[in-house]
Amino acid sequence: MLTHGDRTVENAVDVYREVSGTGLRLVGFKDVGVTAEVLRQLTDLIHADRRPVFLEVVSTSREDELRSIEAALEVGVDYVLGGTHVEDALGLIDGAPIQYCPFPGVVVGHPSELQGSIEEISRHAAELTARPGVTGLDLLAYRHGGVNPAVLTRAVVESAAGPVIAAGSVDREERIRALADAGAWAFTIGGAVFEGRLPGAPSIADQVEWALEVAER
């Protein structure tokens, strides 16, 4: 993710150009932090490299969440991640060539915190992915303070009828490997790279390559 602190970084275009030569397959950003023009430029650059583009919703209100989805449609991304107002979101997305992966479970606050038992979140995951228009899920596995994130991820993967993307606080080898072993289709990482907390720092590209190597071991 070309994001830090739940905002797209101001130099996102330059950062993408730096990492474009890595083995990175999926690239995303938020709809806050830069202008819509920059997001369109980013989307065009990423698409030119034959990579899908992801926009993650970080809004806490229904109105802001729907504005984020409208921005995703305008920019032309391939995936919308996050959000909790599924009925309203599906109404906006209807007919658009976009994949929608909302949050399972109860999500509160900003930065977002996931609540609920593993059983409740897994049941919600199954219900969401049974709905037409819901492609997969954006799971805040490491934003839940009361359960084992790896156990939660595996349970959601087994319950969901679609890919599970783990988002938030993925900042070390242990967590990357736990998510991969649990069957997560993908994970988001941004802040850890921009803060230079991974091997290969201060190079952003080298940190990305390291994270990819860990995930594929």
Kindly give, in sequence order, each residue whose CB lies less than 8 Å from that of residue 44, ignoring residues fewer than 6 positions away: none
For 13-28, what is the mean pLDDT? 96
Task: Flag whether pLDDT at 5 surpasses 90.
Answer: no
pLDDT above 90 (res 216): no
Grade residue 201 by pLDDT with cuts at 50, 70 and 90: very high
Nearest 5°: the CA angle 196, 82, 56 is 45
Please give the pLDDT value at position 60: 73
Cα angle 211, 107, 97; round to 5:
70
Q: What's residue 110's pLDDT?
A: 73
pLDDT at 68 over 80: yes
Please give the average per-residue pLDDT across 67-87, as a whole number. Answer: 94
Q: Give residue limits of the domains in the chain.
A: 3-216
What distance in Å separates the CA atoms of residue 164 and residue 136, rounded to the nearest whole number? 6
Angstrom CA distances, 190 to 5, 26, 77, 83, 109, stand at: 9, 12, 18, 19, 20
Q: Cα(51)–Cα(122) distance, rounded to whole angstroms?
A: 30
In this prediction, residue 61 carries a pLDDT of: 86
Given a cut of 80, whether residue 131 has pLDDT beyond it is: yes
Output DSSP code: residue 102: -
> pLDDT tier at 112 (50, 70, 90 boundaries)?
confident
pLDDT higher than threshold 80 for residue 59: no
User: Which stretches within the chain are classed as H helix?
Assistant: 12-19, 36-48, 62-75, 86-93, 118-129, 149-159, 173-182, 191-194, 204-216
Q: Report the CATH fold assignment for 3-216.
A: TIM Barrel (3.20.20)
Per-residue pLDDT, averaged over 51-55, amounts to 97
The predicted structure's pLDDT at residue 27: 97
Structure tokens at 26: 């999926």
φ, ψ of residue 178 to 5 degrees: the values are -60, -40
Q: What is the pLDDT of residues 149-173, one digit of tens each?
A: 999 999 999 999 999 999 988 999 9
Torsion 144-216-52-43 (CA) sign: positive
Query: How many beta carbons lie within 10 A of that of residue 104, not counting itself?
Result: 29
State mean pLDDT over 114-122: 95
**Mean pLDDT for all residues in the chain:** 94
Please write the tens of the pLDDT for every residue from 90-109. 999 998 999 999 999 998 87
